A = this chain, B = another copy of it.
Amino acid sequence: MESLNLEYILARLRSALERDDIAGATAILEALRPADQADLFSELDDHEQVVLLPELAIADSANILEKMEEREAADLVALLLPEVVVPIVEKMEPDEAADLLGDLAPEQAEAVLAGLDDPEEVRPLLLHSDDSAGGLMTSEVLALRRKMTAGEALQAIRLWQPEAEEIYYLFVVDREGVLDGVVSLRQLVVARPDDRLETIMDQEVISVLAGTDKEECARLMSRYDLLALPVVGDTGKLLGMVTVDDMVDVLVDEATEDIQRLGGAQPLDRPYLDMGTLSIFRKRVGWLLLLFVTESLTGSVLRHFEAELHAVVALAFFVPLLIGTGGNAGTQTTSTLIRSLAVGEVAPRDALHALWHELRVGLLLGLAMSIIAYARALSWGSGHELALTVSLAILAIVVWANGLGALLPILATRFKIDPAVVSGPVMSTLVDATGLFIYFTIARLVLGL
């Protein structure tokens, strides 16, 4: 088990910087792995970062910029001169370089691009949205021809001397560069040296278009256990590949965003502790206000039933209990549905199936709750009629909440809205006002108010 004491190393790094011991500071950083370098470097303030980055080995600087949060990296680079930035970007993976340039001011990005040896390796990647396969892919792929032998292919790899570990799939293309097949490094190694690629390659390649959504790419790779996914243009021409490390990042980020949305807030774009109070405020206040306005419908419902409340003040005692339980049942359902939609277990066409599923679950849960609620109401000294009202209301509210919790995320998906917007808070809020209406309607009928 590796467990670096990053705080201790950070203290040493800081003290070296305070003594202006740049050589000492770079030595501390360069002894670490890239992910740890980036973590430590992110802890430094802007001034320390600007001083230190140009002093590091170019490869380390490139690694650090690749591993830092994208926004942080862009903020740092915006403070550096092009002559410092260009050699670092040159050393970055093309897909990471393009992501960085995309986050810079256009003039600065242009200045850096102009300084690169081969801007055409990066420029086409800038055209694609960050959310698409084209924005995620690297253009550093080795394309081979079908008549080559395994031995020749291995020789080509030796000559190419790729830096990245991600050359576990090699792609075979035709004369026009159209993707023809895929062969893994393992297959090349175990093949006889004079086997032709066309005899060992897999011709049924799973590939995506440059515009394919990145989450769809991640799902394909995870489903079929792919280490790399080729990206092609409209004519089938090989443009690049998405690698497994990017896929993992996409899956993890997607889950993070879903969890934050499910909590009723916009996803954060930086690590939590690095975000300022105001930034977090802005991510949350919109939903909170919108829900407040919706929630104030509950007041209108209560005022509508003011006469009933005056007649039986005890009705008020059960209000939080009933709407709270309805909100909880709805949240249980919506979170299950949102995740099932995200991992592909449920598709929009399953709407009726899911609704039927949840109505039955809601009926069982509602019956269980209604028995407990009846007993609870009696134990508070309510009469049988009030207890019956509460008991019927909780049954109806739970079934209603489960149905809503099943349908709304699926409807959102159908209208191309992220189902995670039907968050726990949204469900609670929707069930609050409607649940009260159900409760007082039942009270009117049962208590004859």
Contacts and interface: CB of A to CB of B under 8 A. Distances in A.
* Residue in A33, A35, A186 whose Cβ sees the most chain B Cβ within 10 Å: A186
B328 A262 contact: no
Given A189-B185, A324-B428, A365 B168 contact: no
7 contacts: A35-B224, A256-B339, A280-B336, A288-B369, A292-B372, A320-B436, A423-B424
Contact of A184 (B33, B165, B281, B296): B165
Nearest to A295: B324
A50 interface: no
A299 B244 CA distance: 53
A136 to B, nearest CB: 15
A449 to B, nearest CB: 15
A263 B365 contact: no
Interface stretch (A54-62, A82-90, A113-121, A156-164): A156-164
The 3 closest A-B pairs by CB, nearest first: A263-B335, A255-B255, A424-B424
A346 B268 CA distance: 14
A306 B309 CA distance: 13
Given A262-B335, A281-B361, A299-B317, 14 more contacts: A35-B224, A165-B168, A185-B186, A255-B258, A271-B340, A280-B357, A285-B364, A285-B365, A287-B332, A288-B329, A289-B369, A295-B325, A302-B317, A327-B327
A79 interface: no
A329 to B, nearest CB: 6
A273 interface: yes
Interface string A238-254: 00000011011101100
Contacts of A295: 320-321, 324-325
Given A360-B277, A365-B281, A2 B220 contact: yes
Contact of A1 (B208, B277, B317): B208
Nearest to A249: B222
Nearest to A338: B259
B263 A292 contact: no
A32 B59 CA distance: 43
A446 to B, nearest CB: 19
* Chain A contact residues, majority secondary structure: helix
Given A222-B248, A259-B255, A309-B316, A321 B336 contact: no
A190 B158 contact: yes
Nearest to A394: B292
Contacts of A372: 289, 292
A324 B291 contact: yes
A273 B345 contact: yes
A167 B278 CA distance: 48
A225 interface: yes
Contact of A265 (B189, B249, B302, B332): B332
A113 to B, nearest CB: 26
A441 interface: no
Interface in A145-177: 154, 157-158, 161-162, 165, 167-168
Interface in A214-232: 216, 220, 222-225, 227
B343 A256 contact: yes
A256 B255 CA distance: 8
A313 interface: yes
A189 B157 contact: yes
A273 B299 CA distance: 37
Contact of A320 (B255, B325, B331, B432): B432
A259 to B, nearest CB: 5
* Residue in A225, A262, A319, A428 whose Cβ sees the most chain B Cβ within 10 Å: A225
A303 B228 CA distance: 63
A278 to B, nearest CB: 7
Contacts of A325: 288, 291-292, 295
